């Protein structure tokens, strides 16, 4: 805008009678002065047709040049419809960004809350395990053994005391079962490692059996 005023001040042209168009071509910049009366029929036709003008090209002896945005809007201002559409787009983008930020903030808060909860549960479990080791007199090189092992309790329960399978118990009942020191005893770590391998095989077999049973039950009604 200041360049346009300086240019008009240094020339004999009246700003009310001409358009000063700044244009670019091949990386260079130039200005062109066009009478308003020359463009008036075109401007009126565009306004009556309600056409949105997105660019303005000038054919000169040096080739085609493209008017800059300021010059374009000085000649062809945005229509009411265009201004409304741009306003709606800005609002939609603002709402989208606000929603995305809110979602990210909420997810981050939930992640931090879950991390804090997990940390508290781990600390509680570690404290309970330390108390069990102390109460049972577990020595270095030993671990706490559970009779029956947790994997067996989950799938088959504990027949020795008539306990139902853990998969059918409530979280509170499973926690009480795990904390029952009457079914705990010291065990050498080597035996615990061997038992862990056996329980892994046992667990895989149980899962395969359960998957087969569920598939058979789904298929049976079709027989």
Tens digits of residue pLDDT in 124-167: 888 988 999 999 999 999 999 999 899 999 999 999 999 999 98
Give the start-to-end residue ranges of the domains of the chain: 2-77, 79-135, 137-223
Rounded Cα–Cα distance for residues 169 and 154 (Å): 9
pLDDT digits (tens, 9 = 90+) for 92-135: 999 999 999 999 999 999 999 998 888 888 898 889 889 999 99
Q: What angle do CA 166, 171, 175 make, to 5 degrees?
A: 80
Lowest mean pLDDT segment, chosen from 35-44, 111-120, 182-191: 35-44
Q: Which two tokens stand for residue 196?
A: 């862990």
> What's the pLDDT score for residue 143?
92
> pTM value?
0.47
Binned at pLDDT 50, 70 and 90, residue 201 comes out as very high
What is the four-CA torsion angle of 79, 85, 91, 94, rounded to 10 degrees?
Answer: -100
Please, which residues have CB within 8 angstroms of residue 60's CB and are 6 or more apart in sequence?
32
| Mean pLDDT of all residues in 166-195 | 91
Mean pLDDT of 161-179: 91
């Amino acid at each position: 805008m200041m360049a346009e005023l300086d240019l008009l001040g240094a020339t004999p042209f009246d700003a009310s009678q001409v358009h000063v168009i700044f244009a670019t071509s091949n990386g260079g910049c130039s200005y062109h002065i066009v009478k308003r009366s020359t463009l008036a029929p075109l401007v009126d036709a565009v306004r009556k047709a309600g056409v949105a003008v997105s660019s303005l090209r000038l054919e000169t002896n040096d080739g085609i040049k493209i008017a800059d945005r300021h010059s374009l809007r000085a000649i062809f201002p945005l229509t009411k419809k265009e201004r409304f559409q741009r306003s709606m787009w800005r609002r939609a983008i603002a709402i989208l960004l606000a929603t995305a930020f809110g979602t990210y903030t909420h997810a981050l808060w939930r992640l931090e809350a879950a991390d804090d909860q997990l940390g508290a549960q781990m600390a509680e479990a570690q404290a309970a395990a330390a108390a069990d080791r102390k109460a049972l007199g577990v020595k270095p090189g030993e671990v706490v053994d559970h009779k029956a092992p947790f994997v067996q309790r989950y799938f088959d329960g504990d027949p020795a005391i008539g306990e139902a399978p853990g998969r059918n118990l409530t979280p509170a009942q499973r926690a009480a079962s795990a904390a029952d020191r009457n079914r705990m005893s010291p065990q050498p770590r080597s035996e615990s490692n061997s038992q862990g391998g056996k329980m892994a095989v046992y667990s895989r077999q149980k899962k395969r059996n359960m998957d087969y049973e569920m598939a058979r039950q789904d298929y049976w009604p079709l027989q």
